[in-house]
Amino acid sequence: MAVDDNMETCTRTDKEHDPWWMVDLRETKAIYAINFSFRLYSEDLRSRQQDRLSGYSIYVSNSQAKESGELCFKHNGSYLPSLTTEHVCASFGRYIQFVNNKLTFIELCNLVVLGCDKRGYYGDNCNIWCPEHCKNDQCFVTNGTCLGCASGWTGIKCDQACSNGKYGPDCSLPCSGHCKHNLTCNPINGTCLNGCSDGWMGVSCNKSKPLLQTLIE
């Protein structure tokens, strides 16, 4: 086993191209950091073990497909990695993958995942609600910063309503600019609630009317 806090019980892959190792958290979790501990050899063999690990990648995903989801960390191979390491990886996922794209093997002895077990919470005891308008109730587990905002909101804690003619998630989309009376669009979906300016049509007033239709009206 590699998740039992016992450095004497390690798991090892065969020597092969692109070996990888995955843990299933059983459901999506709010992750802050991932601690890996690899087999510690005697001093004269330790650099050889470090070289085997060189170039590894860590992924967090909701799929068991290899190298899917979010890339949390990639070792660039320019130095020997530590055999006991922590990677800050603010993310949400069910599966954690350790992958090495070369001919080698992996000897992993322990894995610790830090974060909140309950979705939509943060804080040292995971007992504080994430801000109301965080997208999918997801926030950074240490300080409540939202990992994206729901439609109609922006700001690091998604507490600022869209303004200046913007709408959508993180207020990232521009209104058409053709709402009637120069009113702004709906901050959630971009529609013009009071109709369109002359010459424009559609729920978001982003389609020009045919010239003949405009003349008849």
0.85 surpassed by pTM: no
Q: What is the pLDDT of residue 166?
A: 95
CB atoms within 10 A of CB 23: 16
- The rounded Cα 191 to chain-centroid distance in angstroms is 29
Q: How many helices (H) and strands (E) does the chain have?
A: 2, 16
Write down the pLDDT at residue 8.
Answer: 62
Can you read off the two tokens belonging to residue 133?
């308008």
Q: Which fold has domain 11-116?
A: Jelly Rolls (2.60.120)
How many whole angstroms separate alpha carbon 186 and alpha carbon 82? 51
SS3 helix, strand, coil % of the chain, rounded to 5?
Answer: 10, 40, 50
| Low-confidence residues in the chain, pLDDT < 50 | 1-4
Structure tokens at 100: 């090495």
Nearest one of 134, 114, 133 to 124, comparing CA atoms:
114
pLDDT at position 212: 57
